[in-house]
Amino acid sequence: MAIADVFSRSSTTTGPGAAVTPLSAFGERPAREGEHVEALYAWVDEIAALTTPDRVHWVGGSRLENEALLREMVDEGRLIKLNPEWRPGSYLARSHPGDVARTEGRTYIASEREEDAGPTNNWVAPDEMRATLTPLFAGSMRGRTMYVVPFSMGTVGGPLSHIGVQITDSAYAVASIGIMTRVGVDVIDQIAAGKPWVKTVHTVGAPLAPGEQDVAWPCNDEKYIVHYPDTLEVWSFGSGYGGNAILAKKCFALRIASVIGRDEGWLAEHMLLIRVISPEGKKYHIAAAFPSACGKTNLAMLRPTIPGWRVETLGDDISWIRPGDDGRLWAINPEAGFFGVAPGTGESTNVTAVETLWGNTIFTNVALRPDGDVWWEGLTDETPAELTDWEGNPWTPASGRPAAHPNSRFTVSAGQCPQIADDWEAPEGVPLDAILFGGRRATNVPLVVEATDWSHGVFIGSNISSERTAAAEGTVGELRRDPFAMLPFCGYNMADYFAHWLRVGKALHVSKRPRVFQVNWFRKGSDGRFLWPGFGDNSRVIEWIVRRLEGAVDAVDAPIGRLPRIEDLNLEGIDVPQQDLEELFAVDPESWLHEADLTEQFYSTFEGKVPPRLYAELEALRYRLKRAQQA
Ligand code: SAT
Ligand code: MN
């Protein structure tokens, strides 16, 4: 491990004797005037008085400041600098072994009314929650620097953009926010001009006693990720990890933004965003929601296997979707980077992601190679003979445990993606042509099915699920429900969210509504094999969807929606046996009727709040299934 050791100690100096500016040269509070900016200053003072940091650093967002921050983190042992020969400008962070993922059990929606949080969220009354949090935050930043990070989701000043400020005592969070959002003083200018902003406060909850030696990844066993939707605030305590610490992401861009969207008539969605370009050069925009582990990042970076088709990436995780003046829905990716799962990302599964990570990347909890580069399961077909695992221990293939944590991550600017759309930062976004809902279903759900109309599409979205267990043919395995892939991310009552979706679509003229499709790359045959090759070949499904949008192909009416005629699927160059194709699109009324019962059970958990329109969809589905059963 000798070489890696050297890199972990070296700083980011670009050459021998290059002058470096220390972080302390940055951090001045930008001088602005007026009541709005005074309110910001007062809030920052108030948080500082509560958390008592040693220093307050206003992040200006310059490249030099970021370099100084990273250099300081390396010098303090918080980051390992990777070998610039393999991975220039890149770093490895190792988290505390107990701080490796979002903590949904500790995530709260503290709305005034309990029914506004709904049965899928943890709820505590705001007053009660503040009474719990205030003593925890009191003195929580002692011995540390409190960073003030002004950020914009979407390009600064864009019509679909929203701004916020994160206060944090985690330098790792600052570096990550710098990649995932647009950070800079121009956001302060927006605040000074009176634009509303969201307040987010984060502490790792590990104050230092005078002279106390810090650890590489401070955190607290006690964790709270708290949203106050009525006052547009997020307070996060005790975790340095991803969605718990980069508050602009799931906390703001989904949970808080979904509430803003509900009130303003738009949608904050857990959706990737792509542009599909047909061989004729026509452009289509598709947003797609998938629960985790369903290949969302792969679809966001799809490389079609069919000649003439191209996909450009616009976003991999979040879409903000708003009705435009032209009566269509327009979408932006509010983020500026990708915070993706490393394991399983490889040359054969997602070469675009691998190319994106060539440099300027912060890796978290992946393995370190002896040559100072990184590795994770699935990156290469061959496993290196020796590694340092994500916890910093020596590792060989015989170790019998993964070298990278299964939820290890990369944080990288979206602009580095080789197939990012040229106009991915266009403030007005792109007009949506289709919305896809996916899941990981071994049974029942066909490769692709088109919703008959908007409310049927909302019905499908409300039923997204993945199978927990590999189910036998014809029986539904235990379903893990993740409606709209928003279960952990909807900031208000999910039944009200379904109603909001119905409302947003109804306000659009039928001809302008995006068409809705359900896809399932994971259906298995009776012998347990996957029936569909997946990955790049999913472009064949996208082609059919586009041909439907163009009105170029007919569909077959089935009880569950509109299915492709097999002959309309482009299967050139792949060999899917006829019987598999039939199984891929088979609709078994009996197991679908069972699934309808599960839907009814699920809806009943919302205590009468699910919109009647969705119950009507359920009854219509049952009626069509029973008719098919009798036929
Ligand atoms: O940790 S994050 O919430 O940002 C990412 C994820 O859970 O998908
Ligand atoms: Mn996500």
* pLDDT tens digits along 366-393: 999 999 999 999 999 999 999 999 999 9
* 251 annotated active-site: no
Q: Which two tokens stand for residue 296?
A: 């969302």
Mean pLDDT of 247-259: 98
Residue 5: predicted pLDDT: 40
d(CA 376, CA 107): 29
- Give the atom of ligand 1 at the shortest distance from the alpha carbon of 101: 1
pLDDT band at 610 (very low <50, low <70, confident <90, very high): very high
Q: Give the C-alpha separation, 150 to 53, whole Å.
A: 18
Q: Name the closest-CA residue to atom 3, ligand 1.
A: 243
The two tokens of residue 577 are 């046996």
Q: Tell which atom from ligand 1 comes closest to the C-alpha of 246.
A: 4
CA distance 37 to 280: 51
- Mean pLDDT value across residues 204-211: 97
Question: What is the CATH T-level fold of the domain 269-335+424-630, as seen in this structure?
Answer: Phosphoenolpyruvate Carboxykinase; domain 3 (3.90.228)
The catalytic residue among 219, 251, 294, 417 is 294
Which pLDDT score, from 0 to 100, does residue 477 have? 77
* pTM (predicted TM-score): 0.96
Ligand nearest to the CA of 339: 1
pLDDT at 17: 52
CA 102 to ligand 1 center in whole angstroms = 6
pLDDT at residue 7 tops 80: no
How many angstroms does the Cα of residue 272 sit away from the middle of ligand 2? 9
pLDDT at 472: 61
- Calculate how far, in angstroms, residue 245's C-alpha sits from the geometric centre of ligand 1: 10
- Which residues have CB under 8 Å from 3's CB, separation 6+? 83, 370, 371, 372
Least confident of 1-15, 390-404, 411-425, 528-542: 1-15
Domain range list for the chain: 3-76+102-264, 269-335+424-630, 337-416
Centre a 10 Å sphere on the Cβ of residue 179 and count the other Cβ atoms it contains.
23
With CA atoms as reference, report the closest residue to 489 among 506, 464, 469.
464
Task: Please say whether the beta carbons of 249 and 180 come within 8 A.
Answer: yes
Percent share of the chain, pLDDT over 90: 94
The whole-number average pLDDT for the span 412-430 is 98
**Regarding predicted confidence, which is higher, 14 or 472?**
472
CA atoms within 13 Å, Cβ hemisphere of 342: 27
Note the pLDDT of residue 4. 41
Residues 6+ apart with CB under 8 A from 454: 502, 505, 506, 513, 516
Q: What pLDDT does 631 receive?
A: 86
Q: Burial code of 605-631, b = ≥16 C-beta within 10 A, e = fewer? A: ebeebbbebbeebbeebbebbeebeee
Model pLDDT, residue 13: 46
Superfamily, domain 3-76+102-264: Phosphoenolpyruvate Carboxykinase, domain 1 (3.40.449.10)
In angstroms, the CA 334 to CA 181 distance is: 8
Q: What is the mean pLDDT of the chain?
A: 95
Distance CA 628, CA 592 (A): 11
pLDDT digits (tens, 9 = 90+) for 447-495: 999 999 999 999 999 999 998 776 665 577 789 999 999 999 999 999 9
Contact 269, 288 (CB under 8 A): no
pLDDT of 476: 77
Decide which of 2.170.8.10, 1.10.540.10, 1.10.3720.10, 3.40.50.1980 is the CATH code for 337-416.
2.170.8.10
The answer to whether domain 3-76+102-264 and domain 269-335+424-630 are alike in fold is: no
Q: Residue 11: pLDDT band by 50, 70, 90 thresholds?
A: very low
Distance CA 10, CA 411 (A): 21
In angstroms, rounded to a whole number, what is the distance separating the alpha carbons of residues 603 and 65?
51
Which amino acid is present at 506? K
